[in-house]
């Protein structure tokens, strides 16, 4: 029997022996390594063409991770706000807020919330209307010619509310700056917002508008400002008295209290304030 061949007695097939297998493998490797005559090899260069590597299971390894341009690599997440789903790039939120930055820093295996509509990020305590206005400001324009969104004072207040809640300092400053220049805003509403969010630069000029107006105090003022504030401002306005400039008109002075008068106003009271009659 040939010593280089072994015979399988069961199937009667001829199989190479171990030494012969090693020789065949060496020949195959030498053939793979040998350059073809047409390959432009010189100075130790490797053959032209693609190079392939294989894992132990015969599959090709995944390509190396490419660097990401996070300015234009949007990571969309699902958010649930008052029963409504939103799909928005968390990158744009994280750029402005440490709250959302922390969400993005959760390790990938644990970062499952928000990846699908079935498992959204729940934004409890946030109104749908407020979230819409914030996203309107943060969302990039659809086209380069699209105008900047124009919001009302109330809509900007929504932006201010959430930017304050989520520590979006740049967004908050932008909202305050824009709201400061809006015209036709009810001064009472402006005072309410200024006091709530600590915008002290608004207070004196806006209270001045309230004191200057001819409109009397009303129930809405009391609801918005509170009874204590309205009484204090009413007292302040009573103490502002006109002062003659000796033929040059009038200016105003702040007296310690409203001047007492002996004029009888009973007739006017009966005519104008019937609800106060017993």
**CATH code of the domain containing 118:** 3.30.710.10
Domain total in the chain: 2
- On whether both 249 and 161 belong to a single domain, the answer is no
- On whether both 128 and 217 belong to a single domain, the answer is no
What pLDDT is attached to residue 146? 66
- On whether both 79 and 178 belong to a single domain, the answer is yes
Residue 17 lies in a domain: no
- On whether both 158 and 227 belong to a single domain, the answer is no
- On whether both 219 and 248 belong to a single domain, the answer is yes
pLDDT band of 180, cuts 50, 70, 90: very high
Mean residue pLDDT of the chain comes to 79
Q: Are 15 and 6 in contact (CB under 8 A)?
A: yes
- On whether both 121 and 212 belong to a single domain, the answer is no
Question: Could you read off the pLDDT of 201-247 as tens digits, one per residue?
Answer: 999 999 999 999 888 899 999 999 999 999 999 988 888 887 766 66
Residue 65 lies in a domain: no
- On whether both 223 and 243 belong to a single domain, the answer is yes
pLDDT greater than 60 at residue 28: no
Residue 10 lies in a domain: no
**DSSP string covering the chain, please?**
--TTEEE-TTT--EEE-HHHHHHHHHHHHHHHHSPPTTS---TTPPPSS------TTSPPPPPPPPP--TTS---EEEEEETTEEEEEEHHHHHTT-HHHHHHHTS-GGG--TTSSTTSPEE-TT--HHHHHHHHHHHSPPSSTTPPPP---HHHHHHHHHHHHHTT-HHHHHHHHHHHHT-SS--HHHHHHHHHHHT-HHHHHHHHHHHHH-SPPP-HHHHHHH-HHHHHHHHHHHHHEEEEE-SSS-EEEEE-SSPPP-----HHHHHHH-GGG--
State the Cα–Cα distance between residues 259 and 241, nearest whole angstrom: 9
Containing domain of residue 270, as a range? 189-278
Most confident of 5-9, 71-75, 94-98, 138-142: 94-98
- On whether both 166 and 79 belong to a single domain, the answer is yes
Residue 222 lies in a domain: yes
pTM over 0.75: no
Residue 8 lies in a domain: no
- On whether both 214 and 230 belong to a single domain, the answer is yes
277 versus 255: the higher-pLDDT residue is 255
pLDDT band of 263, cuts 50, 70, 90: confident
Question: Could you read off the pLDDT of 49-93 as tens digits, one per residue?
Answer: 444 444 455 555 565 678 878 778 888 999 999 999 999 999 899
pLDDT band of 183, cuts 50, 70, 90: very high
Residue 5 lies in a domain: no
């Amino acid at each position: 029997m040939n010593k280089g061949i072994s015979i399988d007695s069961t199937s009667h097939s001829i199989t190479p022996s171990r030494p012969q297998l090693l020789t065949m493998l060496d020949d195959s490797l030498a053939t793979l390594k040998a350059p073809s005559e047409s390959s432009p090899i010189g100075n130790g260069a490797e053959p032209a063409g693609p190079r392939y590597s294989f894992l132990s299971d015969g599959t090709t390894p995944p390509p190396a991770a490419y660097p990401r341009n996070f300015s234009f690599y949007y990571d969309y997440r699902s958010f649930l706000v008052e029963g409504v789903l939103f799909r928005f790039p968390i990158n744009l939120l994280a750029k402005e807020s440490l709250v959302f930055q922390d969400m993005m820093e959760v390790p990938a295996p644990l970062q499952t919330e928000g990846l699908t509509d079935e498992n959204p990020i729940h934004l409890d305590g946030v109104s749908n209307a407020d979230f819409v206005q914030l996203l309107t400001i943060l969302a990039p324009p659809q086209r380069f010619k699209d105008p900047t969104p124009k919001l009302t004072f109330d809509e900007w207040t929504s932006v201010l509310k959430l930017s304050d809640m989520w520590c979006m300092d740049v967004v908050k400053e932008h909202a305050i700056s824009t709201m400061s220049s809006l015209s036709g805003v009810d001064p009472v509403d402006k005072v309410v917002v200024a006091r709530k969010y600590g915008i002290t630069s608004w207070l004196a000029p806006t209270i001045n508008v309230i004191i200057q107006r001819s409109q009397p105090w009303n129930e809405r003022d009391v609801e918005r400002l509170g009874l204590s504030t309205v009484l204090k401002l009413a007292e302040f306005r009573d103490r502002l008295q006109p002062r003659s400039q000796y033929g040059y008109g009038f200016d105003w002075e702040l007296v310690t209290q409203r001047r007492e008068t002996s004029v009888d106003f009973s007739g006017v009271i009966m005519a104008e304030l019937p609800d106060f009659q017993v």
